[in-house]
Structure 1
């Protein structure tokens, strides 16, 4: 299913998230199961299914990673696993540096710097992915897929930084 079509949005990486939310709320109202309490069982199941699709689509389109992956899938790009970033020696080295920096961070200030650096990298990755996905060609689509895998690492790292920060501030 094409979630962009479901939401009547252009098939592109950069989306107006306010517009996305407005479409979501409208579609939710139109398909909410409570509206069909007196409908036949078949109609209830149909609207329940449609409502679930709307929820799934919103979840996918709201997330830059899921949105990018969905767009690539629509373009017929087979997405490799996160393990494929292992072939990128430069990124593997960056991952190790990030992990060491997180391990060595022994103050809230050090963690806050990691958070700021991480946000900067994520913003750069998002811009790079958007630029790559503007061109619908094989090379740029493959490069965007690679950047999405890297972005997954950075988001996971952000979560680990937050966890360490929470532990540090709770003690």
Structure 2
């Protein structure tokens, strides 16, 4: 049994200056009678039937392995036609002068983008928060979409884009459902 120093291949500082004796490799040792009996037994290999390989899909245009399977070369860099998304999720908060640009928001909402408006930076300006809410409500009425509060203080508002469906009956946002005791 070796010690920690031998494990790392270092000489033992507490032990003698003689290195530990190495055992002869297993190939040089003479096999014992028990080992000869174990070697004499023939090994039985189990073979498993290999299922026939399926041909690659007809639309496959990439390389194929020698077995006939499609090969996905992750190092090849081939661009496909870039698909530009039609809709996006936008996050808006007041700028450094605490303004919210409803004209640009209304354009994005008409294009189908969903906008999240964050009024939390206006934490000490209640009257300014109310003015921003009124302006956003007026903008939503002009565009023809509803505005939803995502938190209990009405500081995080969601304006869905045109043609975005919001289910109002069963869906509850936030943690209010977790806090409700029934």
Pairwise same-fold verdict (TM > 0.5): no
TM-score interval, smaller chain: under 0.3
Relative contact order (C-alpha < 8 Å, sep 6+): which is higher? 1
Higher helix share: 1
**TM-score where L is the length of structure 2:** 0.21
Which of the pair has more CA radius of gyration? 2
Say which structure is richer in strand: 2
